[in-house]
Amino acid sequence: MENSPKINKPVSKPKKLRIKEKTDFITETLENLYPEVPIPLDHKDPYTLLIAVLLSAQCTDERVNKVTPTLFKAADNPVDMSKLEVSTIEDIIRPCGLSPRKSRAINELSKILLEKHNGQVPETFEDLEALPGVGHKTASVVMSQAFGHAAFPVDTHIHRLAHRWGLTVGKSVEQTEKDLKKLFPESLWNRLHLQIIFYGREYCPARGHDLNKCIICKKLNP
């Protein structure tokens, strides 16, 4: 009797996770890894946080934290900062990049805070985004980290991870922010955006990404 030919069974592909399963896994993983989420930019009040976030545009938090002690020693409030020459601010913050634009913005916004807000950082998106050099992402960081309002600041790093994890197909950080806000409860936004930043740095970098070490990508993209 002739042997029957072997029939190769098709290899079943890993079942794709539903979006709710993805978000639950991401939330649980990040909470286990980062139960405490310190604000990465050194500051002492809303004003110094605002300046530090402004400086962090296209610059690492680590470098900002090396520059701000010198800057805040010279001026750590709108009154003193408005009195500094723009060229003096520029010399101090040069390592952060874009120093001509950032120094003018810091000087101008300090004057506006004195003229329009009694020297205080305003607590609304509208007023914050009206300040020189302050975009929606910067305003979101200040609203969430300085004042505790629910916000989901999305920078290019969070935008990249959200794409990698299949949470958005948005082409802009603005669209990604809207998508993430729909997927995660508002009560998690302030912690979650920091947890994603920490996770990206440690496990899910843009370059040299190791799938075997990346817990979330290994689960979501087997």
Q: Give catalytic residue positions.
A: 137, 155
- Which residues fall within 8 angstroms of residue 113, CB to CB, at 6 or more apart? 47, 78, 119, 120, 121, 122, 131
Q: What share of the chain is helix, strand, coil (3-state, %, to 5)?
A: 60, 0, 40
Neighbours of 131 (CB within 10 A): 23
Q: H or E stretch including 102?
A: helix 99-116
Whether 161 and 180 have beta carbons less than 8 Å apart is answered as no
Cα dihedral across residues 19, 21, 22, 24: positive or negative: positive
